[in-house]
Structure 1
Amino acid sequence: MSSIFGLVTKQLKTHPALIPLFVFIGGGVTMSATYLARLALKNPDVSWDRKNNPEPWNKLEHNQQYKLFSVSTDYSKLKKDRPDF
């Protein structure tokens, strides 16, 4: 595996115009992996522990924000509009 990194380093030294390509692709891969990890850990639709919490979506509070970005909804001012389970 180190020979691959040596080859990439050699190519970047001879073609420095490829450096921004590697930076942006590396940043995109990092952001994608971070978003997928957030979805896997924070999304109420994902249940990792079915024995202790089989339905995690029922334990959400009515004013809890689970979306990454909300354009026009202020979750702290929402009124409870659903029954308790």
Structure 2
Amino acid sequence: MKVFRVLMKNKELIPLALIITAAASGASSFAVYSLNKKPDVIIDRKRNPEPWENVDPNVPGKLITVNQQWKPIEELQKVRRATR
């Protein structure tokens, strides 16, 4: 409640408080999104000790991909076939 009293006394701090709140919520929501949806983020190494096996090389691991074609690397495919 002390924060609200300070904001009511100094009205010029209200936009600053809103911007900081929006930035903090955006950063925390992106962190939760990254931990849940991205295959390159590893949280649990006990159940999945080799997570790189589940990464699809045809799916880009970027936020934004502009005009880029993803093709499998022939040498990598040969090594993958030889080790299986």
TM-score range, shorter chain: 0.5 to 0.7
**Cα shift at 1:18:** 0.8
Task: Report what 1:78 is aligned to.
Answer: 70
Contact 1:62-1:80 at 8 Å conserved across structures: yes
| 1:11 is aligned to 2:6 | yes
- 1:20 corresponds, among 15, 23, 27, to 15
Question: How many angstroms does 1:63 deviate by?
Answer: 1.7
User: Taking structure 1 as the reference length, what is the TM-score of the superposition?
Assistant: 0.67
| Residue ranges of structure 1 left out of the alignment (5+ in a row) | 1-5
Counterpart pick for 2:62 among 53, 56, 67: 67
**Secondary structure of the residue that 2:58 maps to in structure 1?**
coil
Contact 1:47 1:55 (C-alpha < 8 Å) held by counterparts: no
TM-score by length of 2: 0.68
Unmatched runs of 5 consecutive residues or more in structure 2: none
Asked if the contact 2:59/2:70 (under 8 Å) is kept, the reply is: no
Higher relative contact order (CA 8 A, sep 6+): 1
Question: Is 1:50 paired with 2:50?
Answer: no
Distance in 1 separating the partners of 2:17 and 2:42: 35
Work out the number of aligned pairs and report it.
Answer: 77
